[in-house]
Amino acid sequence: MHAHATPIASEGAIGDDHSAILMKPSYDENLVNEDLAPLRKQTWGAYNIFAFWMSDVHSVGGYVTAGSLFSLGLVSWQVLIALVVGILIVQFFCNLVAKPSQVTGTPYPVICRASFGVKGANIPAIIRGLIAVAWYGIQTYLASAAFMVVALRFWPELAPYADLSRHGFAGLSTLGWASFMTLWVLQALVFWRGMEAIRVFIDWAGPAVYVVMIALAVYLVARAGIGNIGLTLGAVKYTGWDALPVMINAIALVVSYFSGPMLNFGDFSRYGQSFAAVKKGNFWGLPVNFLGFSLLTVITTSATLPVFGQLITDPVETVSRIDSDVAVVLGALTFVTATIGINIVANFVSPAFDFSNVAPKVISWRMGGMIAAVASVFITPWNLYNNPAVIHYTLDVLGAFIGPLFGILIADFYAVKRQRVIVDDLYTMRPTGAYWYANGYNRAAVLTIIPSAAVPVLCAVMPGLEGLANFTWFIGCGLGYLLYTQLMKRQPQAAPALV
C-alpha cells in the first residue's frame, strides 16, 4: 500500500516499534511528526477493534443510556428492534469512516486534509477536540463517584470530607477532588505509555466488565427470582403505530450516543491489519456486543426493583447496595476500569491527534492528550453535570457540528475523490499539492460547515423544535454531504493518484 514511500526509523510515541511509520524528507515539518505520519506496520486484528468497542460501550454512561431506552414506554421487543436498527446504522457508518484511515494509515485530522485542505483540517480537528475535552471531564467525574463509594464503605469517618458545605472548593468536596484526581492520574499513566499500552488495556478491560456484569446479573436475578424480571422498565404507554415515533427517537439516540467515537474512528482503524479485519471487529463490537450489554443492563436494572425496593439505573449505586464488601470493591473498580476505557478511546486519543495536528512541530501526541486532560479539570465538569440544562445545550451545540464533519468526510472520500487519496500530498504545503486548494483551505468544506451546522444547532436550541433535537446528527450529516458534493462540482479537481 505504501511501497512507494521510504520508511525512516523514528522514536514515535504511538507504538513500541520505531520503524512502524513512514516519514519522507519531502514532508513539511508543519504537517507531520512521528505521531501523525502514515503507518507502515498496521498490527491490529479484528479482536483489537472488537475490544475497542467493548471499552466504548461498557461504561456507566453506556449502562444508563441502554437502561433509559427500556423506560421509554415501549414493549421490550420494540426497544430491541430500535436497538438493532440504531446499532446497524452505527456499524454501517463506522465501516465508511474506517476505510480512508485504514487504507492510508493516517489519523482522523490528517485524512481531513483531503477535504478541508492541509491547513483547513484544523477546523474539524479543533471542533472534535473540544467536544472530547468536555466529555473527558464528565466521564472522569462519573468514574470518580465509584471511587468515593469504595472509600466511604471502608472508611466511613471520611464522610465529613464528602460534604461540600464543610470541606471542598470549586463545587466539589475534598473527597470528590481526591477521587477525581486519582482517576485523572491513572488515566494519564495508561495514556502516557503510548498506543500499544492502550491496546493492551482495552483488550482486557472490556471482557473484565462483562464478567462482573454477568456475575451481578446472576446474583440479582437469584435474589429477585426469575419470575420478577421483566425487559420493560416502565409502564407501556405506546401501542400500535403510536410506538413508531418513539422507536425512531430511540434509534436516533443510539446513533447520537456513538457519534463522537464514530467521527474519529479513523484514529483506531488506521492500525487495522486490513479493512476486512476492521469490518469483522465492527460487527462483533457493535451489533453483537451492544445488544448483549443492553440485555445484561436491563436484566440487572429490572432486578433492582424487587431486590432493593426501587428501580436503580446507576450501576455504581446498585453495586454499593450489595452486602458483600468484596462485591462492592470488585464492582466499583470494574466500572472505574470501564469508564477509564471509554475515556481513553473516545476522549483522550482523539484530542491527542487533533491538538497535535494544529502544531506538529511543538505539540506531540502525548502533549496533545495532556492539554485535553488539563483543560478537562479547568472546565469543572461536576458543575456542568450538576446543571443538565447547561450540559445539554453545550453538547448539543457542539454535537451539531459532528454530523456535518462526518458528512463532508464521507462525501469527499467516496463521492468526490472516488476512494483515491495521494498520501504524500497530505503532508505538503506546496501550492501544486492536491490538497492545497486556496492557501491551504478548501472553501467548499469551510462554506459547507456553516449552514449544515447552523440548522442542527437551531433544532437543538429553538423552542418548538425540541422534537428534532435527537436528530441533529442526521440533519447535519445529510446537509454536509449534499452541500459539499454540490460545491465541489463547481471547482476544478486535480487528477488524484491511487493510494
Backbone angles phi, psi at 130, to 5 degrees: -65, -40
Closest CA to 54 of 261, 225, 350: 261
Match 474539524 to its residue by C-alpha cell: 124
pTM, two decimal places: 0.86
Backbone angles phi, psi at 189, to 5 degrees: -65, -45
CA 219 to chain centre: 31
Q: Which three cell numbers stand for residue 13?
A: 510515541
Residue 100 CB burial class (10 angstroms; 0-12, 13-18, ≥19): buried
Q: How confident is the model over 184-210, as a mean pLDDT?
A: 85
Q: How far apart are CA 484 and CA 452, in angstroms?
A: 10
Cβ proximity of 124 and 112 under 8 Å: yes
Cβ proximity of 322 and 219 under 8 Å: yes
Q: What is the mean pLDDT of the chain?
A: 85
Closest CA to 118 of 423, 360, 429, 355: 429
Most confident among 47-56, 265-274, 321-330 (mean pLDDT): 265-274
Cβ proximity of 108 and 357 under 8 Å: no
pLDDT at 495 over 50: no
Q: What is the CA radius of gyration of the chain?
A: 23
Q: How confident is the model over 312-336, as a mean pLDDT?
A: 82
pLDDT tier at 12, thresholds 50, 70, 90: very low
Question: Is the pLDDT higher at 22 or at 386?
Answer: 22
pLDDT of residue 385: 67
Q: Considering only 223-237, 377-391, 456-470, which range has the smallest mean pLDDT? A: 377-391
Match 488495556 to its residue by C-alpha cell: 201
Backbone angles phi, psi at 438, to 5 degrees: -120, 105
Topology classification of domain 46-389: Hydantoin permease (1.10.4160)
* Percent of the chain clearing pLDDT 70 (strictly above): 92
Domain range annotation of the chain: 46-389
365 conformational bin, left if phi > 0, alpha if psi -120 to 50, beta if neither: alpha
Q: How far apart are CA 270 and CA 278, in angstroms?
A: 9
CA 37 to chain centre: 22
Q: How confident is the model over 165-170, as a mean pLDDT?
A: 81
Q: Tell me the longest C-alpha to C-alpha distance in the chain.
A: 71
pLDDT at 355 over 80: yes
Per the DSSP assignment, residues forming a β-bridge with 169 are 172
Q: Residue 126 half-sphere exposure, CB side, CA atoms within 13 Å?
A: 8
Q: Considering only 10-19, 41-50, 129-138, which range has the smallest mean pLDDT? A: 10-19
pLDDT of residue 391: 61
Q: What's the residue count for the chain?
A: 499
For residue 316, count other CB atoms closer than 10 A to its CB: 24
pLDDT of residue 1: 38
